Chain A
Amino acid sequence: MVGRWFDSKGWRDIVISVPFLWLLVFFLVPFVIVVAMSFARRAELSPPIAFLDHWTYLQTGNFARLLDDSLYLRAFLTSLWNAGLATLFCLLIGYPMALGITRVTRSWRNLLLMLVILPFWTSFLLRVYAWMGLLGANSWFNKALTGLVNTILPADRAMSSIPMMNSNFAVVLVMVYSYLPFMILPLYANLEKLDQTLNEAATDLGSRPWQVFKDITLPLSIPGIIAGGLLVFIPASGELVIPSLVGNASDPMIGRVISDEFSSARDWPMASAVAVALLLALVLPIMAYTHFEKRAQERVEGRA
């Protein structure tokens, strides 16, 4: 009886419905609440929101402000620019690392992969604070770097320190450091699956090693590049902690704006509107990704 119940279609439906239920309760419902809130206005209530009391019940003022006030657009652009730079540098640093890991013996591979995820064992906040210590004007790192730079600068131009803290440079640097594993791991997973015989075939057909890379490895690793790129770009564009701690307060990223609207200004509807706008800006690349992924899958299926 029980066995039949476990085999039954109803049971299968329950198993399948668990993740859907999870997403519904913890993702879709909150998302709908946020979207709804973005059409409300700020009020001295608890919670501090008020809708219109007549049809359509919705106010589009928040979105109008989003376009009006250049603060928001600037914050969006800063976020996308910083996240884009961080993604680019993660790719430039992570690709050779991922490729290198696939080309060593199995025991070395495991060790190197372990080292890639090792930083996760220390608190993320602690690591950002460590960077603050390194980048600050009085740190040994800054002093040593300054000394090095001063050796090539004329004496009258000598600097007392390099202003690295509280800049977009610091934000991008720390984001690259923090998100690098998210680039390396999907890239490694992709590159590791590639058939080495294809490289041999290309070599056999007269291609030098870099031509083999350009013609075979690189195009076949595009799904990995896209996966790693999105895993870095999406959280980086909404990043709050790193720009708050090492960033330039006068040139905030969008996460900082949402946080400020929500807590300091107590303008939940405006914070929601910014969040919805950010989400839209990020959903489009994901849709593009699924599209490319599908095409790449079709391509890879051809491999014998």
Chain B
Amino acid sequence: MVAEGHKPFIRIEAVSKHFGGFTAVDGVSLDIMKGEMFALLGGSGCGKTTLLRMLAGFEDPSAGRIFIDGQDMAAIPPYERPVNMMFQSYALFPHMTVEANVGYGLKYESMSKPERMRLVREMLELVQLQDFGARKPHQLSGGQRQRVALARALARQPKLLLLDEPLAALDKKLREHTQFEIMNIQQRTGITFVVVTHDQEEAMTLADRIAVMDKGVIRQVGPPGDIYERPNSRFVAGFIGSINMFDADAVKDGQGVALSVPALGCVIRAADIAASAGDRLSLAVRPEKITISRERPANAVNCVSGAVKDMAYFGKDSLFRVELPSGALVSVSSVNHARGHGTQMPDWGERVWLSFEPSTAIVLKV
């Protein structure tokens, strides 16, 4: 994690990028700390890749400035930046061996051949490919190619490593393994990583901090926990994980400000509602924060009842979809503590009670 008060290592100042009439990146400002693993998360066309390409120097910002380690990058071509990139397609040179690929970035550095070979070997060891140096890229599996690409990008010992969808081309099993490998390498090398991904799980596991992007704008920046538990907008809440979201109105009663939620058919209490009566708000609750029970729980503050419409068993947990009298559907996920599925679980069509703590309710203004 990043200590407060550090001078930012990368400073992106009001950077915009226009392609013809299209605005890919719209006034983005961002500080990234040294040694941080930072993720740019967003759907396709949100501008995350354009921002990455501007850091690498493949695109020039239409407006704004980028500083890396205090140096303005405006006039610095990609081949002189202390930045290396791992491409989504890996972009391995098909006519060169693995060794030549990894060593390519050192080719025009002033260093002796043995020194270069030593570095190449070190990099290959780092990604556990020391026995594959003589192979050509087409003789490698997808996962091995990915690691060659990583080793090649690390060989120049950049101050900043950019990773464009590093895991997108790998299958699920390999992805989990590689994820931890990348984190491991980042910790060992201490290099600042900026990862672009559309996969929220990838961003959550990899990154120290995440910037959620949409339509060229950063919607929220923060550690994964903050983004998940305290989203600042309907967009971020809906983009990360699954969530139940309802329209709500702020109402004032004897105990302070509460939420009138027509879909739930009752007044909901939530911690720190920064609104005054009459404001149009949204209530968002994560499925795992809701407790499902057959009996009405005693002293539950927020409690509604409905009928089980769907249920799905996932092994470690089950997902219920409960239909309320208003017709609204609420998703609830419940951990399967006990062994033996079905006996103590609510069944299809059964009447159940849903409750959640005021502290778990997310109140959104936008």
- A304–B145 contact, CB under 8 A? yes
Cβ–Cβ < 8 Å partners of B93 in chain A: 198, 201-202, 215-216
Known: A207-B107, A219-B95. A304 touches B89 (CB 8 A): yes
A215 CA to B77 CA in the complex, in Å? 19
Instruction: Give the CA-CA distance A200 to B53 in the complex, in Å.
Output: 10
Interface presence of B109 (CB below 8 A): yes
Specify which of B95, B108, B137 lies most central, judged by the most chain A CB atoms within 10 Å of its CB. Answer: B95
A47, CB-defined interface residue at 8 Å: no
A154 at the interface (CB under 8 A from B): no
Q: Chain A residues near B169: list those with CB within 8 A.
A: 304
Q: How many residues of B contact A (CB 8 A)?
A: 33
Give the residues in chain B near A202, CB-CB below 8 Å: 93, 104
Please tell me which stretch of A117-125, A159-167, A295-303 contacts chain B, meaning at least 4 of its Cβ atoms lie within 8 angstroms of it. Answer: A295-303
How many Å lie between the Cα of A301 and that of B92 in the bound state?
Answer: 12
CB contact under 8 A between A200 and B58, given known A205-B105, A302-B94, A302-B137: yes
Residue interface bits B45-85, CB-to-A below 8 A is 1, else 0: 00000000000111000000000000000000111100111
Do A195 and B91 form a contact, CB below 8 Å, given A208-B79, A303-B138?
Answer: yes
Contact with B along A260-304 (1 / 0, CB 8 A): 000000000000000000000000000000000000001111111
B136 touches A198 (CB 8 A): no
From 86 to 117 in chain B, residues with beta carbon under 8 angstroms from any chain A beta carbon are: 87, 89-95, 104-105, 107-109
Q: Are the C-beta atoms of B91 and A200 separated by less than 8 Å?
A: yes
Q: CB-defined interface of B126-149 with A at 8 Å, one 1/0 digit per residue?
A: 000000000011110010010000
Judge whether B87 and A201 touch: CB under 8 Å. Answer: yes
Asked whether any CB of chain A lies closer than 8 Å to the CB of B209, the reply is no
Instruction: Please tell me if the beta carbons of A204 and B56 are within 8 angstroms of each other in the complex.
Output: yes
Instruction: Check A304 against B156 for contact (C-beta < 8 Å).
Output: no
Across the interface, which residues of A come within 8 angstroms of B90, CB to CB? 304
**B89→A195 contact, CB < 8 A:** yes
Known A-B contacts A197-B91, A204-B85, A205-B84; A302 and B139 likewise in contact (beta carbons under 8 Å): yes
Can you name 11 extra interface pairs (CB under 8 A) apart from A200-B87, A207-B104, A304-B89? A195-B89, A197-B87, A201-B85, A204-B83, A205-B79, A205-B152, A207-B108, A211-B108, A215-B93, A299-B138, A304-B145
CB pairs A–B below 8 angstroms (21 shown) = A197-B91, A198-B91, A200-B58, A201-B87, A204-B78, A204-B79, A204-B85, A205-B84, A207-B107, A208-B79, A298-B138, A299-B94, A301-B138, A302-B92, A302-B137, A302-B138, A302-B139, A303-B138, A304-B92, A304-B145, A304-B169
